[in-house]
Amino acid sequence: MRFTLNGKARDVRAAPMKRLLDVLREECGLTGTKEGCGEGECGACTVIVDGLPVNSCLVPFAQARGSVVTTIEGLKGRHPLQDAFVVEGGAQCGICTPGMILAAAALPRNASLEEIRTGLAGNICRCTGYMAIYRAVKKASARPPARRRR
Amino acid sequence: MASVGRSVPRKEGRDKVTGRALYVDDLAFPGMLHGRTVRSTIPRGEILGLRLDFDRTGFTVADWHDVPGRNTVALIELDQPCLAEREIRHFAEPILLLAHQDREKLIEAERSTAIDYRSLDPIYDPARSPLCFKEISIDKGDLARGFAEADIVVEGEYSTGHQEQLYIETNGVIAVPENGGVTVYGSLQCPYYVHRALRVLLDLPDEKVRVVQTETGGGFGGKEEYPSMIAGHAALLALKSGRPVKLVYDRVEDMVATTKRHPAVIRHSTGVKRDGRLTAIEIDVLMDGGAYMTLSPVVLSRGVIHATGPYRCENVKVHGRVVMTNTPPNGAFRGFGAPQTQFAAEVHMERIAEALGMDAVRLREANAFRPGDTTATGQKLGKDCSAVKVLREAVKRSDFRAKRRAWRGTNRGIGLSLFFHGSGFTGGGEVKLASKASLELTETGARILVASTEIGQGTRTMHAQIVADSLGIPYENVEVEAADTAKVPDSGPTVASRTCMVVGRILERCAAEIRQKLGKMSPREYLAAHGPLVVTKEYAGPDGLYWDDDSYRGDAYGAYGWACDVVEVNRDPVTFEIRPTRVTTVQEIGKAIHPILASGQIEGGTAQGIGYALLEEVAMRDGRMDNAQLTNYLVPTTLDTPEIDVTILENPYEHGPYGAKGVGEMPIDGPAPAVVNAIRSLGFDVRSIPATPERIMESSTFQVPSSKS
């Protein structure tokens, strides 16, 4: 089945009802996407599908046909959020971090604190109490647009 | 430039934000099988027989007969079997292990496995338990005289529920048979706990067992003792099949089967003078240990030592028991007994203020520990005692008094809690542990060799800062070896707020010796001239630290952190839902080696405490967790977590590295009583947590007295 993964066309053979999460981790070898609960509550498995953050544990692979999927590996370590999460302490144990960063990447630019809180409400972090995550998101969106576009 | 006190980049930070960090489920080995655990479906009884109604081709099946050594999870007492033989003491007790290459086949096989039981009547009420795991009494002064001196006596009973650690990465390990023994890779806090448990279970010598921590997605105590169990299961399957076996729990299994915070019932009886001075404190603590002992005696110990709260009183009696019930064993969880007992202490303090018609701050200030005061165990507090300081600072920063006055009679409430937390193992624990840490000279700096694990709190980073400054080299030149029992000495478990204060101190001493050996030479010059250099040091307690375990007298901890929380809430008048809107917390931790990491501990622990106070309820029905999924076991999301305003105060502890004390656990002690005291300020007599809307609705209401300040 064809879809676009991190900017490249891929053709992957997998059972249509296999979870997108498992296809990414097992068939594509991209283990940056994590499983936290398997029921769409924690957001650790968040990936971006056609521009929107989704819980990849709830998506059967068949639904990804023809889609554009971005995982944490697709940010190539160059997204401003990634630096900001390191600097501000937004990642502690790190297991929610890939999903959190992808959910944050889908927020509108210069989001207000309330927009950040609402936008990240589907991503549970048990370590930080979220404060450092808000600081990281704010810091990343305060970056000059020239660097953001890279 | 010195790195201590600066927020340098976290050692593994880049790996965590790019997805490169490898957690146990991200690893695979050639020929690897998946494992699954078949568990009891009754809370108490006897196994009569097992029926395996599936084609065994390709399966490895193991039960207790396959244990080469002792069938136990070796910890304090060897009472818990690794696999049940005949007796069943709790729901979800492991009985049978299955391994297969295909996970789907495992699930089908589990469904086709039946266990025949003879059921017995379970015991769920701790007060009726026939088995006490541990009983502790602390006695100070003359209780009868203290009560005789009192103008009034205030009594009360308080209760706290289970709490699930809810690390986002579930428990998991991979066992690989190799070199005539086994290597276990896993998500865990204490490599040497697992190492010992495997030696006993498998009857293997030291060198045939190797335990390697993989990047760990949160612990909070939930990966302190439980990994010894799951590692044993994976190892049994690996040794029987001759192949690597991965055993990673799904969320439901993790919640149903693994340890939780001990529920507790705590009774207070306090004698107090009209002026607010405490003359007698009598406390009874009853904790539910669940089916096996695990770490219950030590949890009780920390609980009773902290039970008075940070208040001076000449006449104290604390009596505690932790007992068996037919529920899954409870175990370590951040705070380790102290959140339960300090919840009771601080809600009781609020009730004393109400009974006296006294200002809640003034009552606490009058009784808070000062340097030179003695605790319940008779420990004389040093000049790093900061109880009054944190109280005053939090009251000022939050504008507590003005808000309490202004919000009277509205649906807005405000409450506070004053609390403390001992750093390191309790009593003689650190002496018994005799932890070792090593430092190895490298061409450009040094490599840290410790078994202390990075579980999110920043162990690698903070240790590297201490070593860098002690050697006078850049932070970047300090490497940290993996927590691998084949490579690092036993620096003790990563628990008890000890990793910075205790292990960091040993590393500081290692670095001092290396620096002295180097003299004016660079590391490269030294290595060329003298060859490899590794310095190992063992824990050496401060002189004069004294503890007597029989009388429970002496210095319970090397140092204490001090903190005060103020929580502001809104009550929905229709649904009775309490929404916390702001937390002001002031915490004195000796020295913040890394301010962002330290704040992260405080903010994260505070959020967990808010969950404990309001949301997190384990619905235990017929001995089974009935809400074992994230859909209905609720932990704070962004929308449930209020703004947390953190102030760190530094009052150095002379025996901590750069003055540091522990920081990891203390933040979870304070939020629950502050939340409940805020609810009390609205006139609801809540005495148990979580304070769900149902509990608040069912609580009696009272007229909040206007206090004289």
Tell me: pLDDT of B229 over 70. Answer: yes
Indicate yes or no: CB of B456 within 8 angstroms of CB of A92.
Answer: yes
pLDDT band for B707, please (50, 70, 90 cuts): low
Q: What is the pLDDT of residue A150?
A: 38
Give the phi and the psi of residue B492 in degrees, each rounded to 5.
85, 170
Tens digits of residue pLDDT in B655-706 = 999 999 999 999 999 999 999 999 999 999 999 999 999 999 999 999 998 7
Tens digits of residue pLDDT in A50-104 = 999 999 999 999 999 999 999 999 999 999 999 999 999 999 999 999 999 999 9
Between the alpha carbon of residue A43 and those of residues A104, B97, B379, B641, the distances in Å are 12, 30, 47, 17
From the list A82, A124, A125, the residue facing B18 with the nearest CB is A82
- Please tell me the distance from the alpha carbon of residue B665 to that of residue B652, in angstroms, as a whole number: 18
From the list A86, A95, A132, the residue facing B169 with the nearest CB is A95
Amino acid, res. B505: R
Amino acid, res. B285: V
Q: Give the mean pLDDT of B371-399.
A: 98
Q: What is the pLDDT of residue B1?
A: 75
pLDDT band for B544, please (50, 70, 90 cuts): confident
Q: What is the pLDDT of residue B144?
A: 98
Cβ neighbours of B12 in A, within 8 Å: 94
Between the alpha carbon of residue B493 and those of residues A109, B430, B451, B498, B666, the distances in Å are 44, 11, 8, 9, 18
Give the phi and the psi of residue A58 in degrees, each rounded to 5.
-105, -5
Q: Give the mean pLDDT of B373-393.
A: 97
Q: Give the mean pLDDT of B642-657.
A: 98
Tens digits of residue pLDDT in B291-333 = 999 999 999 999 999 999 999 999 999 999 999 999 999 999 9
From the list B17, B631, B643, the residue facing A86 with the nearest CB is B17
Indicate yes or no: CB of B630 within 8 angstroms of CB of A91.
Answer: no
From the list B14, B604, B608, the residue facing A92 with the nearest CB is B604
Tell me: pLDDT of A144 over 80. Answer: no
Indicate the SS3 state at residue B604.
helix
CB contacts < 8 A, A to B, total 166
- Please tell me the distance from the alpha carbon of residue A6 to that of residue A69, in angstroms, as a whole number: 6
pLDDT band for A147, please (50, 70, 90 cuts): very low
Q: What is the pLDDT of residue B596?
A: 98
Tell me: pLDDT of B633 over 60. Answer: yes
Q: Give the mean pLDDT of B64-93.
A: 97
Contact B601, B646 (CB under 8 A): no
Tell me: pLDDT of B429 over 90. Answer: yes
Indicate yes or no: CB of A92 within 8 angstroms of CB of B217.
Answer: no
Indicate yes or no: CB of A127 within 8 angstroms of CB of B456.
Answer: yes
Cβ neighbours of A30 in B, within 8 Å: 19
Tell me: pLDDT of B32 over 80. Answer: yes
From the list A30, A81, A95, the residue facing B23 with the nearest CB is A95
Tens digits of residue pLDDT in B472-513 = 999 999 999 999 999 999 999 999 999 999 999 999 999 999
Residue listed under structure tokens 């409870």: B330
Test mutation, A82, A118, A127, A139, chain B, max B CBs within 10 A? A127
From the list A41, A73, A118, the residue facing B630 with the nearest CB is A41
State the average pLDDT for chain B: 97
Residue listed under structure tokens 């007298």: B553
* B402 contacts: CB under 8 Å, gap ≥ 6: none
CA of B27: which chain A residue's CA is closest?
A31
CA of A87: which chain B residue's CA is closest?
B9
Q: What is the pLDDT of residue A142?
A: 82
From the list A34, A75, A86, the residue facing B13 with the nearest CB is A86
Indicate yes or no: CB of A124 within 8 angstroms of CB of B630.
Answer: yes
- Please tell me the distance from the alpha carbon of residue B493 to that of residue B511, in angstroms, as a whole number: 21
CA of B277 vs chain A CAs: smallest distance (Å): 37
- Please tell me the distance from the alpha carbon of residue B493 to that of residue B605, in angstroms, as a whole number: 20
Indicate yes or no: CB of B639 within 8 angstroms of CB of A118.
Answer: yes
- Please tell me the distance from the alpha carbon of residue B277 to that of residue B358, in angstroms, as a whole number: 11
Q: Give the mean pLDDT of A8-30.
A: 97
CA of B614 vs chain A CAs: smallest distance (Å): 15
Q: What is the pLDDT of residue B708?
A: 56
Tell me: pLDDT of B53 over 90. Answer: yes
- The complex scores an ipTM of 0.97
CA of B595 vs chain A CAs: smallest distance (Å): 10
State the average pLDDT for chain A: 95
Q: What is the pLDDT of residue B543?
A: 87
Indicate yes or no: CB of A127 within 8 angstroms of CB of B25.
Answer: no
From the list A86, A92, A123, the residue facing B9 with the nearest CB is A86
Which residues, listed in sequence order, are joined to residue B272 by a DSSP beta bridge? Answer: B152, B278
Indicate the SS3 state at residue B656.
coil
Indicate yes or no: CB of A124 within 8 angstroms of CB of B168.
Answer: yes
pLDDT band for A146, please (50, 70, 90 cuts): very low
Indicate yes or no: CB of B218 within 8 angstroms of CB of A30.
Answer: no
Please report, rounded to a whole number, the percentage of residues in chain B having pLDDT higher than 90.
99
Please report, rounded to a whole number, the percentage of residues in chain B having pLDDT higher than 70.
100
CA of B633: which chain A residue's CA is closest?
A41
pTM of the entire structure?
0.98
Q: Give the mean pLDDT of B539-563.
A: 95
Tell me: pLDDT of B380 over 70. Answer: yes
Cβ neighbours of B15 in A, within 8 Å: 94
Tens digits of residue pLDDT in B88-134 = 999 999 999 999 999 999 999 999 999 999 999 999 999 999 999 99
Q: Give the mean pLDDT of B184-189.
A: 98
Tell me: pLDDT of B191 over 90. Answer: yes
Write out the two tokens for B302: 């920390």
Cβ neighbours of B250 in A, within 8 Å: 38
CA of A97: which chain B residue's CA is closest?
B17
Residue-wise DSSP of B283-335: EEEEEEEESS-TTHHHHHHHHHHTTT-SB--SSEEEEEEEEE-SSPPP---TT
- Please tell me the distance from the alpha carbon of residue B179 to that of residue B561, in angstroms, as a whole number: 46
Tell me: pLDDT of A149 over 70. Answer: no
